[in-house]
Amino acid sequence: MLPTIAWKDDKVIMIDQRKLPLEEIYVECRDEDQVAEAIEKMVIRGAPAIGVAAAFGVALGVSRVAPDENLEWKFNQVCRRLARTRPTARNLFWALEKMRMVFEETKQLSLNDLRERLIREALAIEEEDVETNKRIGMFGRTLIKDGDSVLTHCNAGALATAGYGTAIGVIRAAFEEGKKIQVFVDETRPFLQGARLTVWELDKLGIPMTLITDNMAGWLMKKGEIQLVITGADRIARNGDAANKIGTYSLAVLARYHGLPFYVAAPLNTFDFSLPEGAEIPIEERSSQEIREVGGCLITLPHIPVRNPAFDVVPAKFITAIISERGIARPPYTKSLAAWRRETRAKKGKKSR
């Protein structure tokens, strides 16, 4: 599969995910504003992919600093513009923090050297994401048995990351191991990431799947056709509460009722250990047009009020296990995630010295 996002000839190239699965069109971004708009308009989406895009956006912004511009002011402007794009995705802010650390360490260098250093850091973030996802897949595949049918929500595959995927990475790793599995993909209203993106990915990978509407999941669970649920996450609080695409909470409740395991797969940079619980995770509200229209066609009365929260939060008590590149954490998460928290703090401390 082609990469979700890439740096080429001082431009950021990304596949336009709004056009999939019927068209494969690539968008070129030449400055940070174009990257920011691509994130806001869902040309690129998925928390890890957004983080990579933000890192590339910073590199682009600094690359275009004029000789008479205030470098520090410009850098801050670039970061502020990118930070406004998607408030829920923790990976976005993690990537901006990493780029800021490099900037602070190297801002005394020549503009060209600083530019090259920021580009290298953004490329390292991209490469690290792919390797991280493969490790998540390696750990998570042990949770899927031969013959299982897995339900997944939204898209947490290669398109949502720099490559390979988180939740889909787990499914992919189990399939590559030789396990005979079946995937149920729900549509994921209102943006249809499941129907448009996850189906496209699984088809390319040759993984058996069946597309269902969001409101079919409970009935299929009752009939015994689903053995487990696995999703990604956009931000995870210190207690294990996990924000993900709207509709994830409903699936977690259904899984609990039917006695099915519910797993969350996410890299450590999705965890926000500064937040004690999920109630503090900011939830993005998106345009009402995403509800009123499908594929640009109006499907309801144009004047009625609409709510469009893009995410919900799954309480930790509904999550059977959380998979990261460090392994598998189980309840109580206040204890099992503590080691991961210490590790991230130790890494941050080393880099700040």
**Residues facing 29 on adjacent strands:** 12
Q: Say if CB 134 and CB 169 are below 8 A apart.
A: yes
Q: Is CATH 3.20.20.370 the classification given to domain 5-134?
A: no
Q: How far is CA 20 from CA 165, 193, 295, 297, 344, in A?
A: 17, 9, 11, 17, 36
Quote the DSSP letter at residue 266. Answer: -
Helical segments of 208-337, H only: 217-222, 248-257, 289-292, 333-336
Residue 310 contacts residue 245 (beta carbons within 8 Å): yes
Label the pairing between strands 242-245 and 311-314: antiparallel
- Does the 139-352 domain belong in CATH 3.40.50.10470? yes
Give CATH 3.40.50.10470 domain extents, the chain.
Answer: 139-352
Task: Give CA–CA dist 301/292, Å, rounded.
Answer: 8
Torsion, Cα of 100, 105, 108, 112 (10° steps): -70
Concatenated DSSP letters of 7-36: EETTEEEEE-TTTTTT---EEEE-SHHHHH
CA separation, residue 294 to residues 16, 191, 197, 291 (Å): 17, 8, 15, 7
pLDDT in tens, 238-271: 999 999 999 999 999 999 999 999 999 999 999 9
Other C-beta atoms closer than 10 Å to the C-beta of 96 total 20
Give 325's contacts (C-beta < 8 A, 6+ positions apart): 132, 133, 135, 136, 139, 267, 268
User: Helices 167-176 and 111-140 sit at what angle, rounded to 10 degrees?
Assistant: 60
What pLDDT is recorded for position 350?
58
Please choose, from the candidates 282, 251, 277, 254, the residue with its C-alpha nearest in 3D space to the C-alpha of residue 167: 251
Please, where in the chain does CATH 1.20.120.420 lie? 5-134
Residues 6+ apart with CB under 8 A from 262: 228, 229, 230, 231, 251, 252, 255, 256, 314, 318, 319, 320
Taking the C-alpha atoms of residue 42 and residue 44, their distance in angstroms, rounded to an integer, is 5
Instruction: Write down the residue that tokens 């594929």 correspond to.
Output: 295
- Tell me the pLDDT of the chain (353 aa) as tens digits: 567 999 999 999 999 999 999 999 999 999 999 999 999 999 999 999 999 999 999 999 998 888 778 899 999 999 999 999 999 999 999 999 999 999 999 988 888 899 999 999 999 999 999 999 999 999 999 999 999 999 999 999 999 999 999 999 999 999 999 999 999 999 999 999 999 999 999 999 999 999 999 999 999 999 999 999 999 999 999 999 999 999 999 999 999 999 999 999 999 999 999 999 999 999 999 999 999 999 889 999 999 999 999 999 999 999 999 999 999 999 999 999 998 998 777 666 555 54
Q: Point out the residues that are catalytic.
A: 234
Alpha helices in 64-110 (DSSP H): 71-83, 90-106
The separation between CA 77 and the C-alpha centre of its own chain, rounded to angstroms, equals 24
Spell out the residues 6+ positions from residue 285 whose beta carbon is closer than 8 angstroms to its own.
307, 308, 309, 310
